[in-house]
Every structure is written in structure tokens, then in C-alpha cells.
Amino acid sequence: MIIKRKYLYGFIMSCIIIAVLLVAFSSRLVLRRYTVSSKKITSRIRIVHISDLHSQYYGEDQGELIYAIQHEDPDIIVLTGDILDKRGECDAIRSLILQIVPTYPCYYVTGNHEYDIDNIAGVKESLEHLGVEVLSGDCLSLMIGENVIDICGIDDPSVGNDEWQHQLESCYSQKNKDHFSLLLSHRPERVNAYKSYPFDLILSGHAHGGQVRIPRLINGLFAPNQGFFPKYAGGLYKLSNGTLIVSRGLKRSLIPRIFNPPELVTVDIVPDNTNP
């Protein structure tokens, strides 16, 4: 009887270990939802945030990703850089864009991998030709339902630090203080600059979730331009004068993502009905 129990306990432990490993190394697409409230809007605005796709497919003809987007039914879609891989493979992105542009307004800013292709003008021109609005130090006022929001975007710092700073300042000067302001910027680590030129909401990527996570203990092990134990690996961060949301991105690679599955992010901006 004791021997049988030992086998049973061993079997149970083996099952638990296998289950934990399957969860830890899962590359299955997940949906991550955040909510931000503001007194500047009167009805919900839904944004789907795509970042760090790196020219990858999710199902045949991007079917898995398209299904997830349609299920979320966004008002707009934003793409915050590194949707292309530095090798310049564009079929996966073209497939995605051709399916979403007819239904959803799409807004894009560059990431470092688009600059690594060494044809940034061609990348922007191609996306614009497909119907994507490319933002490079620009702000646009959008009417969504009864709300007017300002959506602004800046290039990756690969454009040059002086130009990056100029674009950020330009966006800040263009936005209307009475409108809800949204900034698209690939890099999350430049928080000090964002605090100097505040926006209501900043959407970023780049960090890949810190690659390795230990839930409730380590939010990320290593991220580009932040190093080990990055502060802004992925999630929602309250700044002194706004909110930063960092996508963990969609990249799948030979380097395993541990407790860090690729994610599609949805952000709901809702009215703040609290008393002033």
C-alpha cells in the first residue's frame, strides 16, 4: 500500500510539473485588457494595441489575430513599432493590414527594427499606401462617438535623439488640453521625457515583457535598453501626470518566453464619473 501511494504521489507531482511547464512556456496568444478613466470623455473608447509582431503569422493568413481583433471590436487600432522584423519580411504584415484597414482606422509609429531594415522611408510609404496613418511627430484630432481625442505619435529614437525630442515637443504643442491625448511611442523606458511633456495615455512596446517572468515576484528579467529587472517590462503604470501602458508584444522566437505569453492588448478609455 505504501509503495502504491509513492507511485501515486510521484504521478501527481509529475502531472503538476508538466502542467506548470506547459503554462510557463506557452506561446499561445492571450488578450490583455486595461481600463483608463478620464473626465475628458463621455462614452467608452476601445483601442486595440499591436506591438512587436516582428513579421510573424498567427494562424493561416493571420486568422488567429484577426479573430481576436474582431472579437474586441475596437474603435481604432494602434501599432507601436517593430511590426516588421529587421530582415524586412513583409508578407505577414501585409496580410494583417489588408484585413484590418477596411474596418478599423489604423495608426502606426516606427520601432527600432523598422530602422534596422535601412529603408525607413520605404516602410512608411508602403504602410501609407495600404491605408495606415503613419505618425512622425504628428497629432490628429479624431471624433469617436461623442468624443474628440488627440492621437499623436513619434518615431523610434533610432531617428536620432534630437529629432526624437523635437517630435515629442511638436506633439505636445499640437494637442488640445481639453481633448483626451494619446501618445504612441515604441520605447517605454523614456519615462522622464514623457513626464516633461505629459499626455493622458502613452502606449508602448519594445520590452517584450522582460522575456522571463515569475508571477507576483519578477515582472521581467531583461528588456532592451532597460537591462536586468526592467521597471517597465509590461503592464499599466501610473505616472505623475498620465498613464503608461506597455504591451508585452507578440514576438515568438527561439528564445523562450517564460510565464510571458505573447499578447494582444485592449485599452478601454471610460468616463470618470467621480466627483472632482
Residues 198-244 pLDDT 10s: 999 999 999 999 898 888 888 999 999 999 999 999 999 999 899 99
Between 16 and 154, the more confident residue is 154
Check pLDDT > 70 for residue 8.
no
Domain coverage including residue 169: 29-271
Assign residue 237 the CATH number of its domain.
3.60.21.10
Rounded CA separation 161/273 (Å): 40
Between 258 and 138, the more confident residue is 138
The answer to whether residue 255 sits within a structural domain is: yes
pLDDT band (50, 70, 90) for residue 245: very high
pLDDT score, position 24: 52
The answer to whether residue 4 sits within a structural domain is: no
The answer to whether residue 18 sits within a structural domain is: no
pLDDT band (50, 70, 90) for residue 89: confident
Q: Is 50 left (phi over 0), alpha (psi -120 to 50) or beta?
A: beta
The answer to whether residue 203 sits within a structural domain is: yes
pLDDT score, position 129: 96
Number of domains in the chain: 1
In the block, cell 518566453 appears at: 257
The three cell numbers of residue 12 are: 501527481
The answer to whether residue 5 sits within a structural domain is: no
Within 59-207, where are the H helices? Answer: 63-72, 91-100, 112-116, 120-129, 161-174, 191-196
Q: How far is CA 192 from CA 183, 230, 241, in A?
A: 14, 15, 11
Rounded CA separation 152/109 (Å): 9
pLDDT band (50, 70, 90) for residue 157: very high
Give me the sign of the Cα torsion angle 247, 252, 254, 257. Answer: positive
Mean pLDDT of 67-82: 97
The answer to whether residue 3 sits within a structural domain is: no
Q: Using alpha carbons, select from 223, 225, 241, 242 the residue that is nearest to residue 233.
A: 223
Between 9 and 197, the more confident residue is 197
Beta-bridged to residue 237, according to DSSP, are 244
Q: How far is CA 19 from CA 11, 12, 22, 128, in A?
A: 12, 11, 5, 45
Q: Using alpha carbons, select from 245, 192, 262 the residue that is nearest to residue 52.
A: 262
The answer to whether residue 89 sits within a structural domain is: yes
Rounded CA separation 192/11 (Å): 52
The answer to whether residue 14 sits within a structural domain is: no
